[in-house]
Copies of this chain bind each other. A is one copy, B any other.
């Protein structure tokens, strides 16, 4: 019930899959992910709540105060990037467990029936490092992705989501609860709150993002016996594409566009063979969809010219296009009021990164909250937020969940799913 209990739980979860430099490695449906799941399940059962696991591995702890009423969901994800940070996702799940326990005690003391019930959720595979796309579990829950199709997605070793979830015992058969609202708290993964000394970010919208699947096809040859002029080196061409993807950001205002190549596979990957094929994934993000579209157009044009110049083939495919999503104004005003009552400074903010809340916002009015990230770093072992900021965030989430359960956003419409491209 105290912030000490929350901090103890948070720092315990950080020991699961811990890495030498204070990070965690708990990719979706690995043994380390399973360990946090066992911990979550045990916590929910000990609290006396009902545990459900659905057919894509999402876990729900249900607090049914008003039989038959829909549920407000609060939570995030316990999976991590490879060598990821210990705050991303896990903070939101542990915060939600403690917020729910506080509200459970309040309801028990007050005895009053609530308009909605409450559920704490641990979404499957938010990170997408092992199985693409990311935000998988909440997107299936929201009907944005097809469950059967996602169960067939394979990792780089050929293991499918179905096999991996079944292997750790978390391919459930339950339906998830009916959602009346959603709230999530997360680290900012940027430095705006830290720079301005503000405690809580109220997320009003998400960035426009898209990925490019790029296949570079050269010709395999002997590094030690092929004249430079006779080569069609897929890795040399791919290197130029990686730099194009990086440099295209300079065509736009500072911080208006971020881009990167984070995944690359080289074939045959032998020290004395000129590469035949390079497969890479580029990621483009901006608050302005037109900027992403302009950057993509320039890349396609430059890549075409490069392919001609190198006499190789480059196949480029668009995928994982995510339009700008707006969170409901009512939720922003509600959260602003909760922060004021708690004496916490707050500001509206955009999210560059995707979150489970973006998917949930298409089916239920959702509130997305940030706490500050030291140095803005994320998806790495150096990721850090202070205990003080985390504890303030638990208070904030508790306050927002209390309002949602009481029906504060019951009349707000979710962002229509049709807005997804």
What residues make up the interface of A, taking CB atoms closer than 8 Å to B?
A: 81-84, 88, 127-129, 132, 134, 156, 188-191, 207, 209, 211, 219-231, 233, 235-236, 238-240, 242-243, 246, 249, 254-255, 258-276, 281, 283, 285, 351-354, 375-382
**Residues on B with beta carbons closer than 8 Å to the beta carbon of A225:** 188-190, 351-353, 376, 378-379
Whole-angstrom CA separation of A81 from B81 in the bound complex: 34
The 3 tightest CB contacts between A and B, nearest first, are A189-B225, A82-B268, A129-B270
Question: Is the pair B264, A272 in contact by a Cβ cutoff of 8 Å?
Answer: no
**A219–B380 CB distance below 8 A:** yes
Among residues of B, the one whose C-beta sits closest to the C-beta of A254 is: B229
* B246 and A233 contact, CB distance less than 8 A: yes
Residues on B with C-beta less than 8 A from A127 are 270, 272
Collect the chain B residues with CB atoms within 8 Å of residue A281's CB: 271
Q: How far is the CA of A276 from the CA of B270 in the complex (A)?
A: 22
Per a CB cutoff under 8 Å, which of B207, B219, B236, B267 touches A224? B207
7 new A-B pairs (CB below 8 Å) besides A236-B243, A262-B275?
A: A81-B220, A82-B270, A84-B273, A129-B270, A129-B273, A190-B226, A276-B380
Contacts of A129 in B (CB 8 A): 268, 270-273
Contacts of A276 in B (CB 8 A): 83, 380
Known contacts A242-B235, A271-B211: does B379 contact A283 (CB below 8 Å)?
A: no
Cα of A219 to Cα of B375 in the assembled complex, Å: 13
A213 CA to B271 CA, complexed, in Å: 10
CB atoms of B132 and A271 under 8 A apart: yes
Question: Which residues from chain B contact A270 at a C-beta distance below 8 Å?
Answer: 81-82, 127-129, 262-263
Knowing A221-B378, A223-B283, say if A273 contacts B82 (CB, 8 Å): yes
Q: Do B227 and A209 have beta carbons less than 8 Å apart? A: no
Chain B residues with CB below 8 A from A242, complex form: 235-236, 239
Minimum C-beta distance from A190 to chain B (A):
5
On whether the beta carbons of B255 and A228 are closer than 8 Å, the reply is yes
Contacts of A221 in B (CB 8 A): 377-380
For residue A264, which residues in chain B have a CB less than 8 angstroms away from its CB? 235, 264, 266, 269
